């Protein structure tokens, strides 16, 4: 069979985009490879329902049998969550998966790319990929960073996980021209923890200021992403002592076992969930929920009557 030449946008997402209604993209690697089965399928469904309740159309993105899909029918969403043959697809993997008819979950990079192609302006995720510790030797830097440099979309995340080199990740985002906004915070959040020791240059206080930043970026003709860094409330954070202990173990084990390439992030996440007795999993899920809520608010502000997008 010939490879399909289109990206398939679900009828719900198509209708919302055509009507100028708010849409928020969701990534699927977080579901397939970031959260353990079977909890991941409940989260996948819950995130979509939460957006719908807020008056926003969800667009979970994945490649199903070689077809890139923006907005999944329930059966495909559950397949992404349940099927161990669903591979992890960053941008460079997309054409190969399409050509060979594979199914795969999209990372921040490939989700952002596909969402932007479809005209979606908002994207909610958990944590971004970034520069790994020891990258000066391994060269391990997520393709999320270079993709965001060239993809005009607003990504709401809880910062990056401390499994990464947070400082180096922020330096690369600066070099790459990616706008970073602290959402009601002046420090970069550390995913499991509300703060890191890294200050941010820009703090916004409400969804409208994010929407106004998007308008300004459009006016300026920027092709880069805007990252909205949304910290967890302090009472939802992971115990810092447990965090530091598990982090040290997880990094040591990854090195010992020679985990490399795209297996590194899922290995570290799984180790964290196991070694914190599931505590990091609850924190992770709460972070994603919070980010979905902020992305929905920004999408609503972006489409509000009188806003630039609505004109």
Nearer to ligand PSU, 17 or 254 (CB): 254
DSSP state string for 184-217: S-SB--BTTBS--S-B-S-EE-SHHHHHHHHHHH
Catalytic one among 21, 27, 46, 262? 27
H-state helical runs in 83-127: 94-100, 108-117
In the complex, the smallest distance separating the C-beta of residue 288 from ligand PSU, rounded to whole angstroms, is 9
Rounded-to-integer distance, Cα 185 and Cα 177, Å: 20
Interface residue with ligand PSU among 103, 151, 265, 280 (CB under 6 A) is 265
Site string for Mn ion, 83-122 (x = CB under 5 A): ----------------------------------------
Rounded-to-integer distance, Cα 130 and Cα 146, Å: 10
DSSP 7: P
Catalytic one among 48, 88, 161, 262? 161
In the complex, the smallest distance separating the C-beta of residue 203 from ligand PSU, rounded to whole angstroms, is 22
Rounded-to-integer distance, Cα 128 and Cα 156, Å: 9
Q: Which does 30 bind (CB under 5 to 8 A by kind): ligand PSU, Mn ion, none?
A: ligand PSU
Interface residue with ligand PSU among 23, 98, 143, 294 (CB under 6 A) is 143
Q: Indicate if 161 belongs to the active site.
A: yes
Q: Indicate if 256 belongs to the active site.
A: no
Rounded-to-integer distance, Cα 88 and Cα 30, Å: 10
User: Residues 6 or more apart from 205 whose CB is under 8 A from it?
Assistant: 184
Question: Which residues does the annotation mark as catalytic?
Answer: 27, 161
Which residues of this protein are in contact with ligand PSU, per CB under 6 A?
Answer: 27, 29-30, 34, 90, 107-109, 126-127, 129, 142-144, 161, 191, 262, 265, 269
């Amino acid at each position: 069979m010939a490879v399909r030449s289109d990206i398939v946008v679900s009828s719900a997402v198509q209708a919302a985009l055509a009507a100028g209604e708010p849409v928020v993209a969701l990534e699927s690697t977080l579901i397939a490879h970031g959260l353990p089965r079977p909890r991941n399928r409940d989260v996948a469904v819950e995130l979509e329902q939460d957006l719908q309740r807020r008056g926003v159309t969800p667009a979970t993105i994945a490649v199903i049998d070689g077809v890139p899909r923006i907005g999944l029918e329930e059966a495909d969403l559950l397949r992404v969550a349940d099927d161990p043959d669903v591979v992890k697809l960053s941008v460079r993997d997309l054409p190969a998966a399409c050509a060979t008819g594979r199914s795969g979950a999209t990372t921040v990079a490939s989700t952002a790319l596909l969402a932007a192609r479809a005209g979606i302006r908002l994207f909610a995720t958990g944590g971004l990929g970034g520069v790994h510790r020891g990258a000066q030797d391994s060269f391990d830097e997520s393709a999320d960073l270079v993709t965001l440099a060239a993809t005009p979309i607003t990504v709401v995340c809880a910062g990056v996980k401390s499994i990464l080199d947070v400082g180096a990740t922020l330096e690369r985002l600066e070099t790459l021209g990616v706008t970073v906004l602290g959402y009601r915070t002046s420090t970069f959040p550390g995913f499991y923890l509300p703060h890191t020791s890294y200050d941010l240059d820009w703090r916004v206080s409400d969804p409208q200021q994010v929407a106004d930043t998007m308008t300004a970026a459009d006016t300026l003709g920027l092709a880069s992403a805007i990252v909205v860094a949304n910290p967890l409330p302090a009472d939802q954070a992971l115990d810092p002592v447990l965090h530091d202990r598990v982090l040290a173990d997880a990094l040591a084990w990854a090195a010992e076992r020679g985990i490399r390439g795209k297996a590194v992030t899922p290995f570290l996440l799984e180790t964290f969930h196991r070694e914190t007795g599931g505590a990091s999993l609850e924190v992770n899920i709460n972070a994603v929920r919070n980010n979905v809520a902020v992305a929905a608010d920004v999408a609503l502000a972006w489409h509000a009557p009188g806003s630039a997008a609505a004109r």
